[in-house]
Chain A
């Protein structure tokens, strides 16, 4: 008998069996719990943006709101100030292209156009920052949801010491439960989804919190609020001048 068959046989000999309708009932209990915590009103996008900002700031991320018109220039200037020279981005994405157009000469956009094996050392040693566009955000915990793909692979948000995530305010969910349902995660998952809620950190030395353990030391999150400067931008703080 194979190990697989032996293990399954032992479990089957003891398995009590389960009512076929138990799963929907369990799902409904979970839904009810989270719905009650969120309250009956549909979440106000401005409140979500504020909540998101507060939670991320508490997790030691730099986070600011900006209008769709203003963010590229603001971010470009900030990258230059931070001394970023090589910025990983996907030129095929509209947001990344908008950023690339306004980057000063000092900041070179670098596409992830080869398999990682072809430039691992270069990726680890020479890239200062990685730029990603989040699939969505989770306000309560201050989380950006990333679904890496061919243009923005997994390591963009992982290997460079600075990770910049752009999240559109209209993609914010109240909590993880709402995100999982609204985005129908059960219908199929990509090879990798990553939820990022701050810069890399550890408390492994005498419970003392330290940042930049193995992943990015710094996380910047730009919450893009609308086409132009709406009242929204005042609800959530803009980049300090």
Chain B
């Protein structure tokens, strides 16, 4: 669809991209404005702080309750959906999930896939994979469509084209959609997008979507959207394929009531979105539309690693609202692309190490001021700052140190010299005699302090011991040490 190659970036280049983003005033203005807007929208939905805190308690309880019995709920969901005629697939890795979707496409002789918004499909880079095998994927969410035309990836999980101005989009549409003139009128641009995609819905062989929530008790997939493209993708083509992270299931349909309210209010500041689309099976005999075949792909892709550790399991409580990125001072300044991961911002920093390994994402947990805003707005109370600190610890742990639940890429930031300094430091501070000896030496040999002190002196003046220690000063005043 696009004549530009997809830009594949990796989280390994994070620092260079962050620096470039900081030097781009247009991008910074774009994100600052968008984040202020989304923060305001969210605040307007929660005028009563007591209600908000109660609802967050419920949201957290629902998610933790579901995770506590996740294997049983997945089996229940599978049994319920299978009984309704849904084909349930399990994928351990991104490659497995891609192969499953391609298999479904090939079995149906499908050439054209129309996609509703799905971050899980972004995570496995499905479009690229299917295109390599002769199957065209068209993104139908307006933001995703814009990003696809530009040959880019989403910069925000809820607002994929948030980095684009209306001028950028006007140019894209003029260049890529035949018969389109340049206009910055948003209504006209949206109508152009609507016209361009209308035929694609009718002609697609497969509709592909994500899943916001799944209820194990009724076997229901709960999809949340505003545009109607998700409904069209899951209704009009003969086959519907839904992709879902294994963590999204909850025990009961009624448990989704508080979650759905938290999601729409936290994400876009809406009391409810235009459509809640609750799917519990394919077309039944006598029904005249809806997909004849319905597939659900359950995706692990590193989630079981987070699950294994009791503290890190909280990562999987996420309902993908994006509030953490909307309130993150780092995300606001560097935008979503700098991270080089499917999920940017605070949630991306704690989920990506499980999807890609700490070795590939070593810079991400450090890209935080630990200001705590993300944890404060999280609708399901994920302690994101604490998890960032934990991931820093794992990244700095000795690669071969045996631990109960080793993370892929453990010790990616391990530095022998730094480790020695810290060992020396903690040894000196734990033993009074060693400390006194260190103090005596440090104050007298202060002239020998190195001017370059690893990362510290990149942006700061060198640390130098004072000529006299606090203890010495106190003793000189006649006060006990």
Q: Contact: A215 with B278, CB < 8 Å?
A: no
Contacts of A204 in B (CB 8 A): 141-143, 146, 159-161, 227
Roughly how many angstroms separate A156 CA and B422 CA in the complex, as a whole number?
Answer: 67
Q: Which of B1-9, B104-112, B285-293, B473-481 contacts A (4 or more CB under 8 A)?
A: B285-293
Q: Which of A143-157 contact B (CB under 8 A)?
A: 143, 148-150, 153-155
Contact with B231, one of A114, A121, A154, A191 (Cβ below 8 angstroms)? A154
Contact with B190, one of A2, A3, A210, A215 (Cβ below 8 angstroms)? A210
Q: Contact: A197 with B308, CB < 8 Å?
A: no
Contact with A212, one of B169, B190, B271 (Cβ below 8 angstroms)? B190
Contacts of B218 in A (CB 8 A): 185-186, 188-189
Q: Contact: B58 with A153, CB < 8 Å?
A: no
Q: Which of B247-277 contact A (CB under 8 A)?
A: 251-255, 257-258, 260-261, 268, 271-277
A197-240 vs B, Cβ < 8 Å mask (1 yes, 0 no) = 11111111111101111111000000000000000000000000
Roughly how many angstroms separate A207 CA and B164 CA in the complex, as a whole number?
Answer: 10
Let me know if A14 is at the binding interface, CB within 8 A: yes
Let me know if B69 is at the binding interface, CB within 8 A: yes
Let me know if A158 is at the binding interface, CB within 8 A: yes
Given contacts A6-B92, A200-B226, A203-B159, contact A150 B194 (CB under 8 A): no
Q: Contact: A33 with B54, CB < 8 Å?
A: yes
B156-193 vs A, Cβ < 8 Å mask (1 yes, 0 no) = 00011110111001000000000000000011011101
Give the Cβ gap from A140 to chain B, nearest Cβ, in Å. Answer: 7
Let me know if B373 is at the binding interface, CB within 8 A: no
Closest 10 A/B residue pairs (Cβ): A215-B228, A204-B143, A213-B227, A195-B276, A116-B289, A204-B142, A18-B68, A10-B304, A4-B90, A200-B228
Q: Which residue of B lies closest to A7 (CB)?
A: B300
Q: Which of A26-77 contact B (CB under 8 A)?
A: 26-27, 29-30, 33-34, 37, 55, 59
Let me know if A13 is at the binding interface, CB within 8 A: yes
Q: Which of A65-117 contact B (CB under 8 A)?
A: 112-117
Enumerate 27 A-B pairs (CB-CB under 8 Å) in ascending A order: A4-B90, A6-B92, A10-B304, A14-B309, A16-B310, A23-B251, A33-B54, A37-B51, A113-B288, A120-B202, A121-B202, A143-B272, A154-B235, A176-B260, A186-B217, A189-B280, A194-B275, A194-B276, A197-B272, A202-B190, A206-B165, A207-B33, A207-B34, A210-B190, A212-B191, A213-B190, A214-B198
Roughly how many angstroms separate A208 CA and B33 CA in the complex, as a whole number?
Answer: 12
Roughly how many angstroms separate A149 CA and B284 CA in the complex, as a whole number?
Answer: 10
Q: Which residue of A lies closest to B309 (CB)?
A: A14
Interface size on B, residues (CB 8 A): 97
Contact with B71, one of A11, A150, A215 (Cβ below 8 angstroms)? A11
Q: Contact: A18 with B235, CB < 8 Å?
A: no
Q: Contact: A215 with B274, CB < 8 Å?
A: yes
Contacts of B160 in A (CB 8 A): 204
Interface size class, chain A: 35 or more
Given contacts A112-B288, A150-B286, A204-B143, contact A10 B274 (CB under 8 A): no
Roughly how many angstroms separate A216 CA and B226 CA in the complex, as a whole number?
Answer: 11
Contacts of B260 in A (CB 8 A): 176
Roughly how many angstroms separate A48 CA and B243 CA in the complex, as a whole number?
Answer: 38
Q: Contact: B142 with A202, CB < 8 Å?
A: yes
Q: Contact: B227 with A177, CB < 8 Å?
A: no
Q: Contact: A193 with B274, CB < 8 Å?
A: no
Contacts of A37 in B (CB 8 A): 51
Let me know if B21 is at the binding interface, CB within 8 A: no
Contact with A115, one of B55, B143, B201, B288 (Cβ below 8 angstroms)? B288
Q: Which residue of B lies closest to A209 (CB)?
A: B186
Give the Cβ gap from A187 to chain B, nearest Cβ, in Å. Answer: 8
Let me know if B374 is at the binding interface, CB within 8 A: no
Q: Which residue of B lies closest to A19 (CB)?
A: B68
Contact with A26, one of B54, B255, B268, B286 (Cβ below 8 angstroms)? B255
Contacts of B201 in A (CB 8 A): 124, 214
Contact with A14, one of B166, B284, B308 (Cβ below 8 angstroms)? B308
Give the Cβ gap from A135 to chain B, nearest Cβ, in Å. Answer: 12
Q: Which residue of B lies closest to A208 (CB)?
A: B186
Q: Contact: A27 with B71, CB < 8 Å?
A: no
Roughly how many angstroms separate A193 CA and B275 CA in the complex, as a whole number?
Answer: 10
Sample of 15 further A-B pairs with CB below 8 A, known A30-B62, A214-B194:
A3-B96, A4-B90, A7-B74, A10-B304, A10-B307, A17-B68, A26-B62, A59-B274, A116-B236, A153-B287, A154-B235, A195-B275, A201-B226, A202-B142, A207-B37
